[in-house]
Amino acid sequence: MMKLFEQNSASWVRYSDYEWRDAEDGHSYLVPAAGAEPRPYDPLATGEQMVLDALEVGGLLFRHQPENEIKAAMREFACKYGLLGIMTALPTTARFMEINHVVLPKNDFIRDLTMPVEDYIHLFFPFGKPDLQSTEDENRFSTEDKYEVALFLTYEGYPQAQIMSFMRDYGERYEWQAKVFRDWAFTMATSFLYYEDKDKVDEHTLDIYRQGMAAFDENAPTYHIALLDKPTMVWDFHSLLLAIKMLLSMMLTDEEHPLRLCRQCHKAFISRSPNTKFCSQDCKKKYNAEQMRRRS
Ligand SMILES: [Zn+2]
């Protein structure tokens, strides 16, 4: 499935620990825990597992599980992969610091479609205003934290906003993350059920499925061509969110190893043969035992 990514790697930052903190604006934010250390890693190296883990968090939302359980799953996800990078994923360009203006496509998160940079950034730094040195046409972030300085050196040339989303005070609010994870689970379920139900339901229901998929547009990652030993497409994700979205799209359209929902536990899994209905032998046994019990 990874043909488009064959030559690819990406880089993202995860801290060793995260915690939920309530801000004065009434929202709950997931932020790096005090004293946690940042580490860059390649999220594409374990891309499939990351998508499955994201779908599992989304599944909890889908099934209306208690908020504390969902928050624990989101924290665990962040400890494995870092935060989603919603700040750079939403605007039309991740380089908004460089042009000193934020432009957003129509979205479900923020109503204003253009914003001053400082107001926008404040939505992701609710506990400590970042130290911005602003000139008329550029904003520069400055820090004395040794880890943050190291991150600026490591990611030289990346959009300034992407590096800022690796900072210690950067956080993402619960409701926004919930929407992202829920949408992924919804997209996966819609695409799976459409083909499962195709012959069983009426045209009106199928149309609702199709409309559900149409909502999965928003921003896409950009790319450039790098002249390596041969010309190579390199994806510029600038957020974990767009990387996961792209990987999920690839996995949904993979005919050989399709993504499926387990008939027993309802978790997403990658099917190694076209007719597999269960994520594991265990689920298959449980399902068959239940069917037997029902029949007797
Ligand atoms: Zn299962």
pLDDT computed for residue 1 by the predictor: 44
pLDDT computed for residue 171 by the predictor: 97
144-166 per-position pLDDT tens digit: 888 888 998 899 889 999 999 99
pLDDT, average across residues 35-40: 94
| Cα(41)–Cα(14) distance, integer angstroms | 7
83-110 per-position pLDDT tens digit: 999 999 999 999 998 888 899 988 888 8
Name the residue among 89, 55, 81, 229 with its Cα closest to residue 159. Answer: 89
Question: Cα separations (Å) of 214 from 191, 205, 211, 246, 259?
Answer: 11, 15, 5, 15, 19
Ligand 1 centre from 34 Cα, in Å? Answer: 37
How far is Cα of residue 245 from the mean position of the Cα atoms in its chain?
6
Ligand 1 centre from 283 Cα, in Å? Answer: 5
Average pLDDT of the chain is: 88
Ligand 1 centre from 281 Cα, in Å? Answer: 8
| Cα(124)–Cα(163) distance, integer angstroms | 13
Ligand 1 centre from 68 Cα, in Å? Answer: 23
| pTM for the whole structure | 0.89
pLDDT, average across residues 20-47: 94
Work out the pLDDT band at 214, boundaries 50, 70, 90: low
Ligand 1 centre from 50 Cα, in Å? Answer: 18
Instruction: List, as one string, the DSSP characters of 117-150.
Output: HHHHHHTT-SSS---EEE-SS-EEE----HHHHH
List the Cα angle 126/129/135 in 5-degree steps: 135
pLDDT, average across residues 23-38: 96
The answer for residues whose C-beta is within 8 angstroms of residue 177's C-beta and 6 or more apart is 30, 74, 84, 86
